[in-house]
Amino acid sequence: MNTAMPHDFLPRPSESEAAILGHVLRNPGTVQPAIARDCGLSQQTVSRLVGELVDRGALVLGTRKASGRRGQPSVSIMVEADYAYSLGIALMTDALSVALMDFAGNVVGHEQITMPVMSRKAVFARLEEIRARLLARAPAARERLVGAGIGILGPCLDGKSRFNPPRALDEFAMVPIDELFAERLGLPCWAESDGNAAAVGESFLGVGRQYANFVYIYVAAGLGGGVILGNRLLRGSHGNSGEIGRMLPWRNFQIPTLETLLHSLRSSGVELDGLSTMLARFDPDWPGVDEWITRSRDQFSLIASAIAALLDPEAIVLGGRIPRVLAEKLIPAIELFDDARRQERRPLPRVMLSQTQFEACAVGAAMLPLEQRFYSSML
């Protein structure tokens, strides 16, 4: 959610311009006929708006691409990376992750720091240090930084920017996160749950380039997620659509999180002092890993099957802080329930790995200002 601050130095696009920008970001090197088809605009309108966006510096023209039809080849179109920049901030129970992103979705700088105490004083002190280092390495971003996004664990309380995170984030609980960070950073800020933020990043930079409808399962200290329908984030009435962990009553199920994985590893004799250490040193052959998968597969199967039945998405994406090698072992164990009536299964979503790089929440959080300012609006 935005806080009114004087950083509107770049013009806001119209609805049609935002649709074009979003299409080009998801399809680098696209051409005008594809834009007209996918955005529901006339060729004449696309030609005019693309020309204006090129003049404005938001888009750049590339080489000509043969279409296989008669006539002149179409000119490829790409987003101009240096047009704008944003910061993405992930507040975790034991770490702070910050990403600097350009207008094309490239992460031009990233730092993650383990934090023994996630107090406001400690977080803001380290955040200022990290921001200074990232901007020093990418000086073009200093004058074209349009905002910051913040991803935080826990459900939203007001449909805007007040969250109820775990105890480790007590000093960030129940307060407007966007206003708190905007005051400290001097930038417009937007806040989302970690799962929603990661889903937005995945929509523009990962699986969303192939599928317009998917559900993101965010595995971290908790279990969350986000829902993308028609390339847009479904926030729900209170900003809590995609709170996937709430599907499982904790009295009846062990919630499959990285905290329960850590407990499984420690119980099997692996000495680890915390979640960040486990992730930094993760070995899929550790004793306790296969046991965690065995204990978690039914829960993930229930969640994935419920998602498939309720939303019928094209894909279910497994991401968050879960190590890639662990996700690769887990996915084959996830079953989507189906009665296969008349020996033919109903169409089911593909369960797949996240395709974004770096830390998922920070990358998604960095997309929030760009998404809100330039690409599209949320449902």
What digits encode the pLDDT tens for the residues 113-159?
999 999 999 999 999 999 999 999 999 999 999 999 999 999 999 99
**Integer CA distances (angstroms), 194 to 37, 141, 371, in order:** 33, 24, 16
**Which CATH number characterizes residue 129's domain?**
3.30.420.40
**What is the domain extent for residue 56?**
15-79
Q: Are residues 107 and 88 in the same domain?
A: yes
Task: Tell me whether residue 4 is in a domain.
Answer: no
Residue where a domain terminates, one of 58, 79, 100: 79
Alpha-carbon distance 329 to 285, whole Å? 11
| CA dihedral of 313, 322, 24, 138, whole degrees rounded to 10 | 160
Q: What pLDDT shows up at residue 32?
A: 95
Residues 217 and 360 in one domain: yes
In a domain, 70, yes or no: yes
Q: Identify whether residues 24 and 147 lie together within a single domain.
A: no
According to the model, what pLDDT value does residue 5 have?
41
Mean predicted confidence (pLDDT) in 348-368 = 95
Q: pLDDT band at residue 1, thresholds of 50, 70 and 90?
A: very low
Q: What was the pLDDT predicted at 342? A: 76
pLDDT of 167 strictly over 70: yes
Which residues are bridge partners to 87 per DSSP? 100, 148
In the chain, what are the helix, strand and coil shares in percent, each to the nearest 5? Answer: 40, 20, 35
CB 139 within 8 A of CB 145: no
> Of 27, 45, 79, which residue is a domain's last?
79
How far is residue 266 from each of residues 92, 259, 263, 272, 320, measured CA to CA in Å?
21, 11, 5, 7, 22
Q: Scan for tokens 């690769």, then name that residue.
A: 328
DSSP codes of every residue in 167-211: GGGGGGTTSBHHHHHHHHHTS-EEEEEHHHHHHHHHHHHSGGGT-
Q: Are residues 31 and 157 in the same domain?
A: no
253 — pLDDT class (breaks 50, 70, 90): confident
Q: Give the model's pLDDT for residue 187.
A: 95
pLDDT at residue 269, rounded to an integer? 96
Please state the rounded mean pLDDT for residues 86-101. Answer: 97
Assign 163 to helix, strand or coil: strand
* Domain-embedded: residue 350: yes
* Domain-located, residue 270: yes
Where a domain ends, among 49, 79, 109? 79
Q: Which two tokens stand for residue 105?
A: 């979705």
pLDDT band at 357 (very low <50, low <70, confident <90, very high): confident
Tell me the CATH number at 51.
1.10.10.10
3-state secondary structure (DSSP) of residue 262:
helix
Neighbour tally for 140: CB within 10 Å? 13
How crowded is residue 107: how many other Cβ atoms within 10 Å of its Cβ? 19
What's the pLDDT at 70? 59
The verdict on 40 and 180 lying in the same domain is no
Query: Between 161 and 357, where is the model more confident?
Result: 161
pLDDT at 99 over 90: yes
> What pLDDT score was predicted for residue 340?
73
DSSP state of 220: S
In this prediction, residue 63 carries a pLDDT of: 79
pLDDT of the residue at 3: 40
- What mean pLDDT value characterizes the chain? 92
Tokens 């969250």 sit at which residue? 163
What integer pLDDT is reported at residue 250 of this predicted model? 76
Q: Are residues 141 and 246 in the same domain?
A: yes
pLDDT 10s digits, 59-81? 999 877 665 555 567 899 999 99
Residue 347 gets which letter from DSSP?
P
Q: Do 20 and 127 have their domain in common? A: no
Residue 53 within a domain: yes
Enumerate the β-bridge partners of residue 217: 225, 318
155 and 266 share one domain: yes
Residue 375, classed as helix, strand or coil, is helix
DSSP for 304-328, please give it.
HHHHHHHH--SEEEEEESS-HHHHH
Please say if the pLDDT value at position 20 is more than 80. Answer: yes
One domain for residues 124 and 28: no
Specify the amino acid at residue 30: T
Q: Give the number of domains in the chain.
A: 2
- Residue 71 sits in the same domain as residue 123: no
Q: What does pTM read for this prediction?
A: 0.91
Contact (Cβ atoms closer than 8 angstroms) between residue 60 and residue 41: no
Of the listed ranges 96-100, 193-197, 240-244, the least confidently predicted one is: 240-244
- DSSP sequence for 1-40: -----S---SPPPPHHHHHHHHHHHHSTTB-HHHHHHHHT
- Report yes or no on 9 lying in a domain: no
In this prediction, residue 2 has a pLDDT band, given cuts at 50, 70 and 90, of very low
The residues near 340 (Cβ < 8 Å, ≥ 6 apart) are none
Task: Determine the pLDDT at residue 134.
Answer: 97
